[in-house]
Amino acid sequence: MTGVTLKDVKKSYGNVEVLHKIDLDIQPGEFVVFVGPSGCGKSTLLRMIAGLEEISGGTIAIEDQVVNDIPPSKRGIAMVFQTYALYPHMSVYDNMAFGMRIAKESKEEIDRRVRAAADMLQITPYLDRLPKALSGGQRQRVAIGRAICRDPKVFLFDEPLSNLDAALRVATRIEIAKLNEKMPDTTMIYVTHDQVEAMTLADRIVVLSGGYIEQVGAPLELYERPANLFVAQFIGSPAMNIMPVKITRAGETTEVELKDGKRFEVPVKTPEKDVGKKASFGVRPEDVREAAEGEDFLFEGKIAIIEALGEVTLIYIEGDLIDEDPIIVKLPGIHKGKPGDVMRFVADSERLHLFDESGHSYLYR
């Protein structure tokens, strides 16, 4: 089984460094997803692992072998692209067989592998068709099938679903999850800017921003214990609400004060020296509920906009508690509030987050 190790990996274009000091250990058989906003460097990092981009510094090793100077075809990897990259004049069968023919595999072996991959992806009925006679989702399955035929040690996916419409994206995502189950020994590295893909497919997510790794962890770890403000607001939708606070008591748990003077406890550890300092208090829209009559509430405000989505209602709360955007609350079902109504909210204390002045998360208890 094959892992991938990145040590102090850097990438520059001219004198602009776009990836800085990337250290990452991907375990054999692991499904790792790179996410981050546009331009953060996730595709470049994947293409460096594939050998499609030169490495400006550091080392990339696949199965303990440093591959910096090894061409893509010799790295034991297969890559699936956003644009499918199928040969338009070749049948599905020939597209899938192509790499093996170049590698001079026997006819029988080629046939066995093409049929096994086609069966795995349910594309057997289309083997004789040209790519143009297939839907986008079917074409992407052919591209994945072609990659499987190469029997790669490491499978790389570069935003494979982003050209598909919403329904096909879900169906193909599930296909990829099944593929991962069927190929437990194959390491998979997947680039996306879609959080749902990252959360549902990954064993571990690598969050990148501005060419740096912000955090590496299991999906729910990032959701429940974000290491910093960036990850807190990047993972989860709508994003976590962040309100400026002052620390009024430090210790094993921390008391903070909102801009309106309201004080409450957050179960995180803070050092005594941080008393009086500014901090950022975070609570997710879905972790808030409406306070009962007379219940001690966390924050209050006026409804600015209310959006009924059926299964949930999104409520945008006006007020002076945050500097820019409104606070967003996500309540289950249909809520009968209307703009102008004043609402009060509570949240379980375990669902509260606190970040220091530089945006790092205080230690969760």
Ligand X SMILES: Nc1ncnc2c1ncn2[C@@H]1O[C@H](COP(=O)(O)OP(=O)(O)OP(=O)(O)O)[C@@H](O)[C@H]1O
- Judged by CB under 6 A, the stretch of 32-40, 124-132, 171-179, 182-190 that binds ligand X is 32-40
Cα 117 off chain centre by = 27
**Alpha-carbon distance 117 to 144, whole Å?**
9
Residue type, 309: L
Closest CB to ligand X among residues 47, 146: 47
Q: Is 333 buried (19+), middle (13-18) or exposed (0-12) by CB count in 10 A?
A: exposed
**Alpha-carbon distance 58 to 317, whole Å?**
48
67 Cβ neighbours under 8 A, 6+ residues apart: 51, 60, 61, 75
CB count in 10 Å sphere of residue 268? 21
Return the residue of 21, 115, 193, 344 that touches ligand X, per CB under 6 A: 193
Closest CB to ligand X among residues 20, 262: 20
15 scored as a contact of ligand X (CB under 6 A): no
Return the residue of 43, 140, 254, 280 that touches ligand X, per CB under 6 A: 43
Closest CB to ligand X among residues 114, 191: 191
Closest CB to ligand X among residues 22, 343: 22
Q: Where are the alpha helices (DSSP H) in 129-276?
A: 136-149, 166-182, 195-201, 219-224, 229-234
251 scored as a contact of ligand X (CB under 6 A): no
Instruction: Give min distance, CB of 53 to ligand X, in A.
Output: 8
Q: How many amino acids of this chain bind ligand X (CB under 6 A)? A: 11
Instruction: Give min distance, CB of 229 to ligand X, in A.
Output: 19
Peptide bond into 238 cis (omega under 30): yes
Return the residue of 23, 39, 59, 109 that touches ligand X, per CB under 6 A: 39
Closest CB to ligand X among residues 205, 343: 205
Element (H, E) at 246: strand 241-249
42 scored as a contact of ligand X (CB under 6 A): yes
β partners of residue 317: 303, 327
- Judged by CB under 6 A, the stretch of 31-39, 144-152, 238-246, 299-307 that binds ligand X is 31-39
38 scored as a contact of ligand X (CB under 6 A): yes
40 scored as a contact of ligand X (CB under 6 A): yes
Closest CB to ligand X among residues 198, 343: 198
Give me the sign of the Cα torsion angle 127, 132, 135, 141. positive
Closest CB to ligand X among residues 56, 253: 56
Give residue for tokens 């508690």: 321
Pairing assessment for the beta strands 31-35 and 204-209 based on DSSP bridges: parallel
Instruction: Give min distance, CB of 69 to ligand X, in A.
Output: 20
CB count in 10 Å sphere of residue 65? 12
- Judged by CB under 6 A, the stretch of 41-49, 88-96, 100-108, 308-316 that binds ligand X is 41-49
Helix (H, G, I), strand (E, B) or coil at 149: helix
**Alpha-carbon distance 238 to 83, whole Å?**
29
Instruction: Give min distance, CB of 156 to ligand X, in A.
Output: 13
Give the number of residues written for the chain. Answer: 365
83 scored as a contact of ligand X (CB under 6 A): no
- Picking from 254, 217, 245, the residue whose alpha carbon sits closest to that of residue 232 is 217
* Binding-residue pattern over the window 152 to 191 for ligand X, x denoting contact by CB under 6 A: ----------------------------------------
90 scored as a contact of ligand X (CB under 6 A): no
- Judged by CB under 6 A, the stretch of 22-30, 35-43, 315-323, 327-335 that binds ligand X is 35-43
Return the residue of 5, 7, 10, 18 that touches ligand X, per CB under 6 A: 18
Residues lying near ligand X in the complex (CB under 6 A) are found at 13, 18, 36, 38-44, 193
